[in-house]
Structure 1
């Protein structure tokens, strides 16, 4: 007899827990023979160069605080999402870099069928599909369909001072269903489970280079104390999050929920067992839990089409009751997305004075929020409508619950003070250095008042777009080599295969250029902004630890 859904879920969780147990029972970290602890003894050949010399910092500062940067929002394994063919290339492969960094098969020979590429980036989608070893056209700051999170590029970010990485397991069933190319089914929770399992496999892959279980720099953590220990060792603490549109199958069709409280409890229990400690309750589409904060312009129009295909209803707006508001939907061209609508169905128009989603936090949504509180999980409020966010903050304030995150600039900025007041954590999207510095300076007084550090959310592999090059002739460009923020390492230009990247002329093309982007921030905005970012690890763990203590209390 085939196992039931619940039986398959238990088997998936059991398999994952066995992987975790195997890693936990491995030897404690120590230097591999002939190598410093931070250098692999068996890196695959050929592979990407790191371009960093010097020992990663360890321990704590004079007052016992950990140090380091926080990427609060990344999608390391989203190439496994959306049907498996939207993001091309892999974060790692046991067959090596030539297998990992290659384009989707339909992109050969010239990108003519790179449909999502030309929908998101304009033009005709044509590009050189060859990745390793030439990388003529990708990865690039404006290519949303190619792998940016190769493990060695993440390794360079770690060597440059990053100490926390939140890997948001992500997918979207509707995007998967309407996209032309896929090699698997579109069930969201199936994809989430796969990405969780592969994160543990990536940890084992890195461990193998360093001599066995527990020896690598990529360490998945499931509580704040474990994260502190990992960071004090000088390694990268990896936290699992979830960002998906219909968690636990909680979609709504014509306003009718397709899940119940039992589904929510089972779903939260499963995610917690997988190691997930933060999550979004809604993303892109209104669901049975909450209304969303709209996307704008052409993308917003396309997502509104997806909203209809998923739920049977378009977004509905109303006048806002306070200074907060959702994004304007706009009526820009959606690159043909309207053609996916059934015959006779047209996109609605929207009143410019009605900027708020009518849907807030539903009764089931509030049940899920309180379920997360019982489990000591952190809630991501980005992508929630302002109506839903306001209710969440009311609930958290009534319980003095600190577990609230804004990880990539998607909440209304008027909520920032309330988030800090709860003890929550805020990170800014990976904007260009000038825009990033301007926003960091705008909120600096709030951080100072609450003693908070700052974070960034790269959203790599998240089809959002990344900082363009400022140009080699821009004022005060990044000069290579440069020193890491702690002063203990030296970073030169990053090379993979035959391609060498320079932030000044290539922009933030992949994750290995995160340290270069931080150096650009220092040059544009000064040391104060970088100092706030370097306090990010401590601040993030303060929020996480306080959340755990609230649950225990």
Structure 2
């Protein structure tokens, strides 16, 4: 017999059940605290979670007699319409009648009821579904409230959020013909919106559109990046900094190459970089729930922001989309031809990527549906592991604390493995079955495959998948060359490096290698055909040029990988009080600084780079300028915007083969 579907009456955009009962949306305002963070780790946003749950895709909820459940989106919608599908999965034999209310909440707190209906109890309607398209919900948070109306019994429902243009449909690019290569260089790893990560408790300053006096004003040294309220006083990294508070207008204290607590990518600094050659940027959306938890516990956080990794990613996407709407020089691109058109129009082409530790976990629903949702939001690259192991892959060991992080994470999440064996350098864990399925699906969607932060075992498996797909391009968004690292840095970085083996994975597939602009000194390198650059200023542009020339000699496309706002220091200058700051001691530093001679003349941004190093993204053109002044052939990295676009176009080339 065909099952009956509940009939509803719809009035003025509000759905009221035929019973005439009108329920409210309930309290949709959520404050996030350490209790919520602990529950997130313990219950994984599951049905046992106390208090309101985060509304995510493909979510289930049990409702018992005379109870209520609130499930609320933690991040506002980036689109104007969304389909909500509700399915009754189960119910007790008697009782279990349920009313469901679907609402949305605007930024100003105004609540709109979109839909209300009741489902009779008992075993009736199990397997039946009800759907409604919500409209005018951009920048609003959707919520679902379930009310158990019977004195006995229970029912269980599945709630699915469906993006009208999502569900795994492959983006169809408009392929245009271009007679000239795009000009300029690329930075393939920038955490532009990191001030919205880590519960907005770590980075001070703002990346969004607005004047510097509002985006880079002074902090007080205590109101961010400070864990001393927890009794943690390990080192300066987590301590207050009342003597280093001044950004605008003097910029006496920050931005600075050695600072990891303040904004390095304001709108003005990014525009300065673009005006001087930066034409393509990969905006890496970042978070780490453990850091978020620490910020919540310290009290230095925005309690309106969910600490969950995927929620942090979504709000960063929303913020960058808003910036694109407000700027005539900044454009988020979804395919290589969009990138070409944007650059030719004088814009900065921005590619959205994801780098988070708890990537697409079960707390946020089906990973496949999450992937499709992020893809529909414009994301074109996702790292399948970051600082710790995931359900998809083993992460590259680097810094011993990250190994401990993976072990602790496995205690809380039964889906994540941890291997205690190995040689102390390489993580024994590689690509999981789910990881293989994820990579295959990303390839079907023509996404960029980033092997940064993956264990060597994982990289080997990913390469085999790429090889089987006609050498599908692989790229490494940020790395260092293992053969040129000094012993003390190799000890720290372990397998989070590029070896000759993994460099070949990138070269053979036509990928791009993103070179980190960090403070590490390098071994000297004599290039095959280029002029050798004297390696006599540790950590500076001279050090960077050594491993640029190493990669360039091996015919691999390269790009800058600054990692600005990435919890990591940048390149020190060649001149001034902090010249050659990575030297082994002060005596060596002074000798190296003296060897640099007089500061060369040049544009103001080059002079600032020479004095400050890579203090902010606006000085990145200064690094390229200095490499040229030092005599290096910068054709590869100087035209890396074209190199990146060529890699991206190769994904769509069905006749591609191995690059010999």
TM normalised by structure 1 equals: 0.71
Report the Cα distance in structure 2 between the residues aligned to 1:551 and 1:365, rounded to whole angstroms: 26
Match status 1:400 vs 2:465: no
Cα deviation for residue 517 of structure 1 reads: 1.7
Match status 1:390 vs 2:498: no
Q: Which moved more, 1:1-10 or 1:355-364?
A: 1-10
Question: Is the partner of 2:568 in helix, strand or coil?
Answer: coil
Output one character per residue of 1:118-169: Cα deviation in whole Å (capped at 9) or x when no partner. Answer: 7464886443323221222111111101000011111111111111111011
Given candidates 312, 317, 331, the residue that maps to 1:219 is 331
Given candidates 559, 570, 574, the residue that maps to 1:466 is 570
Distance change in 2, residues 1:412/1:109 (3 Å): closer
Contact between 2:76 and 2:315, CA under 8 Å: does it hold in 1?
A: no
Given candidates 411, 421, 443, the residue that maps to 2:508 is 421
Distance change in 2, residues 1:156/1:372 (3 Å): same
Q: State the partner residue of 2:279.
A: 163
Distance change in 2, residues 1:493/1:157 (3 Å): closer
Report the Cα distance in structure 2 between the residues aligned to 1:372 and 1:120, rounded to whole angstroms: 41
Question: Is the partner of 1:168 in helix, strand or coil?
Answer: strand
Distance change in 2, residues 1:427/1:316 (3 Å): same
Contact between 1:112 and 1:126, CA under 8 Å: does it hold in 2?
A: no
Question: Is the partner of 2:465 in helix, strand or coil?
Answer: helix
Contact between 1:227 and 1:237, CA under 8 Å: does it hold in 2?
A: yes
Distance change in 2, residues 1:220/1:118 (3 Å): farther
Please show how residues 48-67 of structure 1 align to structure 2 within 5 Å. Answer: 64-67=180-183
Q: State the partner residue of 1:430.
A: 517
Output one character per residue of 1:152-210: Cα deviation in whole Å (capped at 9) or x when no partner. Answer: 1111111111111110111111211123222132111111111011101112332xxxx
Given candidates 301, 307, 320, the residue that maps to 1:182 is 301
Question: What value does the CA root-mean-square deviation take over the aligned residues?
Answer: 3.5
Q: State the partner residue of 2:436.
A: 366
Q: State the partner residue of 1:276.
A: 379
Given candidates 130, 152, 157, the residue that maps to 2:246 is 130
TM normalised by structure 2 equals: 0.60
Distance change in 2, residues 1:197/1:478 (3 Å): farther
Cα deviation for residue 265 of structure 1 reads: 1.6
Contact between 2:221 and 2:241, CA under 8 Å: does it hold in 1?
A: no
Contact between 1:111 and 1:129, CA under 8 Å: does it hold in 2?
A: no
Q: State the partner residue of 1:85.
A: 201
Distance change in 2, residues 1:127/1:108 (3 Å): farther
Contact between 1:112 and 1:125, CA under 8 Å: does it hold in 2?
A: no
Match status 1:12 vs 2:105: no
Question: Is the partner of 2:646 in helix, strand or coil?
Answer: helix
Contact between 1:16 and 1:274, CA under 8 Å: does it hold in 2?
A: no
Contact between 2:227 and 2:294, CA under 8 Å: does it hold in 1?
A: no
Please show how residues 299-310 of structure 1 align to structure 2 within 5 Å. Answer: 300=402, 303=405, 307=409
Q: State the partner residue of 1:446.
A: 554
Output one character per residue of 1:488-512: Cα deviation in whole Å (capped at 9) or x when no partner. Answer: xxx3148xxxxxx722332211111
In proportion to residue count, which structure has more strand? 2
Q: State the partner residue of 2:498.
A: 412
Q: Return 5+ residue gaps in structure 2 as ranges.
A: 1-24, 29-53, 59-72, 83-134, 139-176, 480-495, 519-539, 577-592
Output one character per residue of 1:87-119: Cα deviation in whole Å (capped at 9) or x when no partner. Answer: 11101254x322211355662699896999974
In proportion to residue count, which structure has more helix? 1
Distance change in 2, residues 1:9/1:113 (3 Å): closer
State the aligned residue count: 440
Report the Cα distance in structure 1 between the residues aligned to 2:375 and 2:218, rounded to whole angstroms: 34
Contact between 2:227 and 2:233, CA under 8 Å: does it hold in 1?
A: no
Question: Is the partner of 1:369 in helix, strand or coil?
Answer: helix
Report the Cα distance in structure 2 between the residues aligned to 1:126 and 1:304, rounded to whole angstroms: 34
Contact between 2:186 and 2:560, CA under 8 Å: does it hold in 1?
A: yes
Q: Greater RCO between the two (CA within 8 Å, min separation 6)?
A: 1
Question: Is the partner of 1:107 in helix, strand or coil?
Answer: coil
Cα deviation for residue 4 of structure 1 reads: 4.7
Q: State the partner residue of 2:216.
A: 101
Question: Is the partner of 2:366 in helix, strand or coil?
Answer: helix
Given candidates 226, 231, 249, the residue that maps to 2:361 is 249
Contact between 1:101 and 1:147, CA under 8 Å: does it hold in 2?
A: yes
Question: Is the partner of 1:356 in helix, strand or coil?
Answer: coil
Asked which structure has the greater CA Rg, the reply is 2
Output one character per residue of 1:286-316: Cα deviation in whole Å (capped at 9) or x when no partner. Answer: 111111001225x547745764675589953
Contact between 1:114 and 1:125, CA under 8 Å: does it hold in 2?
A: no
Report the Cα distance in structure 2 between the residues aligned to 1:117 and 1:405, rounded to whole angstroms: 38
Match status 1:204 vs 2:312: no
Output one character per residue of 1:201-227: Cα deviation in whole Å (capped at 9) or x when no partner. Answer: 112332xxxxxxxxx211111110010
Contact between 1:478 and 1:523, CA under 8 Å: does it hold in 2?
A: no
Cα deviation for residue 478 of structure 1 reads: 8.5
Q: Return 5+ residue gaps in structure 1 as ranges.
A: 22-59, 207-215, 251-257, 320-352, 483-490, 495-500
Given candidates 512, 515, 519, the residue that maps to 2:618 is 512
Report the Cα distance in structure 1 between the residues aligned to 2:382 and 2:597, rounded to whole angstroms: 37
Report the Cα distance in structure 1 between the residues aligned to 2:604 and 2:463, rounded to whole angstroms: 44
Report the Cα distance in structure 2 between the residues aligned to 1:109 and 1:229, rounded to whole angstroms: 40
Given candidates 555, 559, 579, the residue that maps to 1:455 is 559
Contact between 1:16 and 1:197, CA under 8 Å: does it hold in 2?
A: no
Question: Is the partner of 2:200 in helix, strand or coil?
Answer: coil
Distance change in 2, residues 1:177/1:11 (3 Å): closer
Cα deviation for residue 358 of structure 1 reads: 1.9
Contact between 1:128 and 1:137, CA under 8 Å: does it hold in 2?
A: yes
Distance change in 2, residues 1:523/1:316 (3 Å): farther
Question: Is the partner of 1:76 in helix, strand or coil?
Answer: coil
Report the Cα distance in structure 2 between the residues aligned to 1:364 and 1:185, rounded to whole angstroms: 26
Question: Is the partner of 1:243 in helix, strand or coil?
Answer: strand
